[in-house]
């Protein structure tokens, strides 16, 4: 259970296979928010296969057994720091934002990273996403502005 401003119990827990449709839908909402809907091509079947193979894990936040937020992550490695947790996507349904749900998810993620021996937690945030940047800065995160992303799509 996490503290929130909703007056309802928000449960944060490790995601199960049956949570994947809700997680996939939340990523779709995030893609819409980021104006990148066309780039969101991973299917629910992709999520199900990759989750079963242990490629990623997630925490979900739920109220009355409805998933209202999630943090999807995986273990990565920093050659400079060692084991790290990579936060791939972090989203709370719009109607539940600013009520403490995201903080509960983020706190749970940090606790998990520390408990599993991670030396670092990293993620990306869009330069125009001021609410997210403020949230991360409130949590004493360093927002790097001197590294550029590289990628190759297949």
Which residues participate in catalysis according to the annotation? 136
82 three-class SS: strand
- Note whether 128 and 28 are within 8 A (CB): no
- Note whether 18 and 62 are within 8 A (CB): no
Question: How do beta strands 120-122 and 82-92 pair?
Answer: parallel
- Note whether 4 and 101 are within 8 A (CB): yes
Name every residue whose Cβ is closer than 8 Å to that of residue 132 and which is 6 or more positions away in sequence.
125, 126
Half-sphere exposure of 142 (CA within 13 A, CB side): 7
- Note whether 73 and 85 are within 8 A (CB): yes
């Amino acid at each position: 259970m996490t503290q929130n401003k909703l007056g309802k119990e928000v449960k944060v827990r490790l995601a199960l296979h049956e949570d994947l449709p809700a997680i996939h839908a939340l990523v779709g909402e995030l893609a819409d928010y980021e104006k990148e809907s066309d780039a969101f091509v991973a299917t629910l079947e992709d999520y199900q296969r990759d989750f079963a193979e242990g490629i990623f894990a997630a925490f979900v936040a739920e109220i009355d057994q409805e998933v209202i937020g999630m943090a999807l992550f995986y273990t990565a490695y920093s050659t400079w720091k060692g084991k790290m947790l990579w936060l791939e996507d972090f989203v709370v349904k719009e109607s539940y934002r600013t009520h403490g749900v995201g903080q509960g998810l983020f706190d749970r993620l940090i606790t998990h990273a520390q408990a599993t021996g991670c030396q670092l937690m990293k993620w990306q945030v869009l330069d125009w996403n001021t609410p997210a940047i403020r949230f991360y800065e409130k949590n004493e995160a360093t927002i790097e502005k001197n590294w550029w992303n590289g990628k190759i799509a297949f």
